[in-house]
Chains A and B, each alone.
Chain A
Amino acid sequence: QSALTQPASVSGSPGQSITISCTGVSGAVGTYGYVSWYQQHPGKAPKLMIYDVTYRPSGVSDRFSGSKSGNTASLTISRLQAEDEADYYCSSYTGDSTVLFGGGTKLTVL
């Protein structure tokens, strides 16, 4: 069982916005600013989409944004596109030099 809780699935129609939450059981998400989000298409390696809660790596669309409130981090995808359909994982540095991943959220674009 993962210590970072994500919804198993979310869905949205093209053009809409969706938000995926990531809640930390032990306070890891709330304490540290090292929250990342990864996108994974079937059969592919994960891709970094958001790091340090709100920052986007070069080349990642500005339709992806991150935020945090208390012990919950969120990934928002605006203007949803078919290519956004994938699995999304949050990740948090725990401070005892380990990393936690959320259980993953399957995004379906209707």
Chain B
Amino acid sequence: VHLEQSGAEVKKPGASVKVSCKASGYMFRNYGLSWVRQAPGQGLEWMGWISTQNDKTNYAQKLQGRVTMTTETSTTTAYMELRSLGSDDTAVYYCARGGYGDPLDHWGQGTLITVSS
């Protein structure tokens, strides 16, 4: 099982970012995918989960309206888009297999998103 994430990005306040997570080594549609972020020196924050079977999503309440999670079954890739970025969105963003009651048993390497003017 391997989750390969896209590279680091620097964004200006107010911009949007889209992070990708390419899954391999297992049946993509058998597991959901979650996104978790970690601000510098801080703990883990759950952002949301997407079903790879029907694209059902559940988002953290604080991110509702700013985050969209999608999947592309043909390429076994998941995406997380975050809009209206602010400085407090500066963090390492992780995708992880699992969620919705299932443990996060495999994680991507993380993608550093820096929001700075």
Residues of A at the B interface (CB closer than 8 Å) are 2, 32, 34, 36, 38, 40, 45-48, 51-52, 57, 89, 91, 93, 97-104
Contacts and interface: CB of A to CB of B under 8 A. Distances in A.
A97 B96 CA distance: 16
Interface of B: 34, 36, 43-46, 49, 58, 60-61, 94, 96, 99-101, 103-110
Interface of A is mostly: strand
B103 A104 contact: no
Given A38-B44, A89-B43, A98-B58, A47 B107 contact: yes
Contacts, number: 58
Contact of B105 (A51, A93, A103): A51
B41 to A, nearest CB: 11
20 contacts: A34-B103, A45-B94, A45-B107, A45-B110, A46-B36, A46-B44, A48-B106, A51-B103, A52-B103, A57-B103, A89-B44, A91-B44, A91-B46, A91-B104, A93-B100, A97-B58, A98-B58, A99-B49, A103-B43, A104-B44
A44 B97 CA distance: 16
A48 B110 CA distance: 15
